[in-house]
């Protein structure tokens, strides 16, 4: 995972602290030193921390904790829908996301392997859904 793929609010696993964390605005700040030794803060367009970040794989447990529910439709794949939002996530063989409205398909068959990818897709479709872990 490249740090520049992440956005504020994305969930990642911090290997240094061995826990899941959300990216904050502070992950885009770093500091330097003037010749006299005083520090200054600089802002980057990409995350300056992140060497210890790993993506969090999407699992059925994470989906269910966030309001997705499994639909049993006599097929061999696990399919998940989100209440009040027209979504379809097929978990096998690779998780794929479809988001649609009554009038059009917004995303169809987008491969999503990690939680932050799901978060990006929901944001792209202007779906205000906070993911919790």
| pLDDT above 70: percentage of residues in the chain | 80
Task: List CB contacts of 33: < 8 A, sequence separation 6 or more.
Answer: 39, 40
> Looking at the predicted structure, is the pLDDT value of residue 127 above 80?
yes
* Position with higher pLDDT, 62 vs 93: 62
The pLDDT-based confidence of 117 (bands split at 50, 70, 90) is very high
DSSP notation for 68-103: EEEE--SSSS-EEEETTEEEEEE-SSS-EEEEE-SS
Q: Where exactly are the structural domains of the chain?
A: 3-54, 60-124
* Position with higher pLDDT, 73 vs 117: 117
Per-residue pLDDT of 34-48, as tens digits, reads 788 787 777 666 665
Please give the average per-residue pLDDT across 7-36, as a whole number: 84
**Residue-level pLDDT at 131:** 92
> Looking at the predicted structure, is the pLDDT value of residue 81 above 80?
no
């Amino acid at each position: 995972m490249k740090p520049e793929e992440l956005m504020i609010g994305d969930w990642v696993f911090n290997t240094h602290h061995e826990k899941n964390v959300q990216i904050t605005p502070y992950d885009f700040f770093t500091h330097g030193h003037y010749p006299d030794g005083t520090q200054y803060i600089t802002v980057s367009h990409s995350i300056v921390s992140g060497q210890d970040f790993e993506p969090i794989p999407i699992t059925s447990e994470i989906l269910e904790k966030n309001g997705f529910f499994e639909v049993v439709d006599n097929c061999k794949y696990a399919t998940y829908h989100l209440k009040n939002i027209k979504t379809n996530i097929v978990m096998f063989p690779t998780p794929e996301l479809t988001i649609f409205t009554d009038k059009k398909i917004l995303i169809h068959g987008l491969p999503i392997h990690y939680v932050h990818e799901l978060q990006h897709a929901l944001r792209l479709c202007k779906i205000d859904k906070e993911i919790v872990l």
